[in-house]
Amino acid sequence: MDAIRSVLVPIHEEGWRFIAFFAVATFLLFLVFEPFGWVGVVLTCWCAYFFRNPDRVTPQRDGLLVSPADGVVQMITEAVPPPELDMGDAPMTRVSVFMNVFNVHVNRVPADGVITNLAYHPGKFLNATLDKASEDNERQAVRMTTDQGKDIAFVQIAGLVARRILCELKTDQQVSAGERFGLIRFGSRVDVYLDDSMTPMVAVGQTAVAGETVIADSNADEPAREGQLH
């Protein structure tokens, strides 16, 4: 039963209309030319896989920040947060997690706290792996104050094929670490801007799991971690 549940995970409600479209198109393809129909079956299965919405076990401790997205830690750098969030011009440590089309795309809140600002910024649809995507691409930026009083931000960024950012948060909303708050389709990236007291606990190239992987700890006094490929 556990094995079945690990495969048949819940589907995000945003995905059902796309799955239905793929399924109808597949049926029509079978009527036209059977080999095309089997291609449609594969694409329909991929669509259902893309919109999967599995449960996650989020670490519970004051000071922890968890990854808001599944994917690879693409870069860790110093950058000024989006100007629309009114967080000043001082650079903050930015952790970027890139999601490809095979990752879970449901995004999760990185910490316990209160949402203090939300800002949508229209833009381009450049490859989300590029550094300039943080400035040029369409994005939904979120600023929050953690329960420990730390001012952080996380930003959903559209990518090369992403054309829809969904964010269900509201200003003054109380949120919990690991809580689902939206998604991006299809393939993109989420940036997290850390408070000065926070040191990244992940390394570039590491695979992060939304709601589970600890990306920073405001209570830690160790230096930034380095990774080695094996």
Helix ranges (H only) for the chain are 2-7, 16-32, 34-50, 133-136
Which of 67, 188, 197, 218 is an active site residue? 188
User: Please, are residues 194 and 44 in contact by the beta-carbon 8 Å criterion?
Assistant: no
Closest CA to 189 of 229, 133, 227: 133
Is residue 188 annotated as a catalytic residue, yes or no? yes
Number of Cβ atoms within 10 Å of the Cβ of 79: 16
Q: Could you tell me the end-to-end alpha-carbon distance of the chain, in angstroms, rounded to an integer?
A: 34
Based on the number of CB atoms within 10 Å of its own CB, is 101 exposed (0-12), middle (13-18) or buried (19 or more)?
Answer: middle
For residues 70 and 95, give the distance between their C-alpha atoms in angstroms, rounded to a whole number.
13
Q: Looking at the annotation, which residues are catalytic?
A: 188
